[in-house]
Amino acid sequence: MTTERQVVLITGAARGIGAAIAERFIDDGFDVVLNYRRSQGKGAANLDNLVARAEARGVRAYKALADISESRDVEQMIKSLRLDGLERIDHLVLNAASSPFKPVLELTKHDWKQLFGTSLVGNVAVIKAVTPLMPAGGTICAISGVGSHLVLPNYPLGLMKAALENLVRYLEVELYDRGIRVNGVCGGLVRSEMLPYLSEMWPRMIANMESCGRRWALEPEEIANVVAFLASERSSAIRGQILVATGGVGLAA
């Protein structure tokens, strides 16, 4: 089925920020492709809710099962979407990530494979698979975090987020002639299923943020709003940039 509505593919769309981004685009009238690695528990319920939300608003939501760390999965995902009649993907949001929580020097070979497989190599595989379907005017948005520039204990994912931010700049240059804009969002701590665990892992940092009297935890919808802005023509002058959306945490002493 050919659609005149714009289409957004979101990796890691079953939970947290990814699900909030999907909700925002659905509410804005986009068709969405909901990539997920496994469908069980709350993630499965979230996907069903997103599909129902799309139906209620007269748009379409495609469930797209794929472990993006596996190139065959990515290829099969795109093949299945095309067989389902999807001929174009206008916007791509790179949200999927996977990481152990331990010091860098304790990472095993398996840990490094996990880190690179999804957060960097997997995202590149998705970009390579999607951009042939992306018309001029398309956008790519990478979801980063403060670990890209702050050293957070037991958080090697920050290494991959730093690489992802640099990838944004390289891709902006390489895809410029095709009319594709590439940017990223560096979000602060977000209220999600992971926040209680992170609060236990970083008690000193959390205590310092709370003592400043500022709101230190963002809602997933706030990150989604920034992503939607970067996919719109209102952000046409923004290219190869990482927008920092932390709620101002770190500004006050």
Measured from the Cβ of residue 82, the count of other Cβ atoms closer than 10 Å reads: 11
CA distances from 27 to 144, 221, 229 (A): 23, 12, 14
Instruction: Find the catalytic residue in 36, 62, 63, 161.
Output: 161
Tokens of 116: 């690179």
Cβ(168)–Cβ(227) under 8 Å?
A: no
Instruction: Find the catalytic residue in 102, 155, 170, 176.
Output: 155
170 is catalytic: no
79 is catalytic: no
CA distances from 204 to 152, 191, 201 (A): 11, 18, 9
Q: For 102, what's the count of Cα atoms within 13 Å in the CB-facing half-sphere?
A: 10
Handedness of CA 132, 159, 230, 72 (dihedral sign): positive
CA distances from 107 to 119, 151, 230 (A): 16, 16, 35
Unique residue bearing structure tokens 């002493």: 253
Catalytic residues: 155, 161
